[in-house]
Structure 1
Amino acid sequence: MSRVEVCSARIPPCSGRAVELEAGDELVVIDPMGQQVSDLTAFSRDDTAEYLSSGRSIDYASKLWLSTGDTLYSNRSTPMFTILEDTCGRHDFTLTPCSKKMFEIIYGETEGRPGCEGNLAAALAPYGISVDRVPIAFNIFMHVAFDAEGKVAVLPPLSRAGDHIRLRAEMPLIVAMTACSAGQSNNFSYKPIDYRVERLAG
């Protein structure tokens, strides 16, 4: 069966957006310029106490880096997404969304940018989801490495212009995404993220 595009948009640098998906919809997240991270989180539309869980997803996949064929699970162990395509192959599901406090602690910034945490919360606010409920996100295109002693390094993304990941929604979802605001995550260049939603025709 053919699919039709039901919406598409560009997320400007250092901002966020939310979109609602039906079960079976396919969400394509695209890095149009290369080396730009998108933090993605999701909540069940039927009960927003159910949310995308990094811990459950990593546990059931038995690996840190999830890609084509892997399932992303909720905190209730329910499949939320299946990864259908992935042209980059490296994303992170361990580090929390950047925030005002993180910018202060890591970068010494004092201007109070909202970061992905604040941008996700702003996108989710119309659904009654507050900043304290923003979980660890699926950090699309983010390149995190660990050495033998467990030390964490955030490296430049491996994504090139036009790379994408295609996710199939396995339940009705509220999804929030960002064009990440953390310099280290994006090789210190802030760029947009594109996305589109495709649905079975008819």
Structure 2
Amino acid sequence: MLKVTNTHGSQVADFWAFSAADPGEHLSMEHMRPNLRKLCPAAGDALVTNRRRAILTLVSDSSEGVHDTLVASCDIHRYHELGHQGYHDNCTDNLRMALAAIGLALPQVPCPFNLWMNTPARPGGEMVWLPPVSRAGDAVMFRAEMDLIAVVSACPMDLLPINGADAVPRSLSVTVSAA
């Protein structure tokens, strides 16, 4: 079991999972949405890979279930687009550094499951960037359906209210257990 806890309630987490046998097989938002026939999974739903196999099951979610499956992870280009000059920590680099630490590299970064990210669509399809509706201590629990490598990045976004109205990134807690 893998539990991700929103310690302070306002932090977004970019979440990825890769098959340990072949990291080219990974949790895929593009494949999960049609499999579930909805935009966001709920407790009991299987999360599938780009080969349409279950990699995780979302066992429980103590939050209101507001998560994002559409937005790519932040990267240096996103920060430049938002007007930031120079380097800025970002989820894409956090993923790459985490995988490099175990000797892996990816040719491209898959779209993450953005836990607690509140980016609803408005009438007409416009997407808005709102603070999370999660509370301190809210947690999601996943069950692995295969041997996998999971990466969680506490999103460092501080130019939009993704991590709360004050736009201050905070810590998360991740726990792995046998059952």
Instruction: Normalising by structure 2, report the TM-score.
Output: 0.93
Instruction: Name the counterpart of 1:197.
Output: 176
Is contact 1:67-1:90 (8 Å) kept? no
Per-residue deviation, 1:133 = 2.4
- Per-residue deviation, residues 41-62 of structure 1 (Å, max 9, x unmatched): 0110001110110011111111
- Unaligned runs of 5+ residues in structure 1 are 1-25
Amino acid corresponding to residue 98 of structure 2 in structure 1: A
Structural mapping, 1:147-186, within 5 Å: 147-183=122-158, 184=160, 185-186=162-163
Q: How many residues align?
A: 173
C-alpha spacing 1:127/1:175, structure 2 compared with 1 (3 Å): farther
Is contact 1:86-1:165 (8 Å) kept? yes
Per-residue deviation, 1:111 = 2.5
- Per-residue deviation, residues 66-120 of structure 1 (Å, max 9, x unmatched): 12111110000000110111011111111000011101102x0013113000111
- Judging by fraction of residues, say which structure has more strand: 1
**4+ residue runs over 6 A deviation:** none
| Helix, strand or coil at the partner of 1:94 | coil
- Unaligned runs of 5+ residues in structure 2 are none
Instruction: Name the counterpart of 2:59.
Output: 84
Amino acid corresponding to residue 192 of structure 1 in structure 2: S
CA RMSD of aligned residues (A): 1.1
Instruction: Normalising by structure 1, report the TM-score.
Output: 0.83
- Where relative contact order (Cα < 8 A, 6+ residues apart) is larger, the structure is 1
Is contact 1:143-1:156 (8 Å) kept? yes
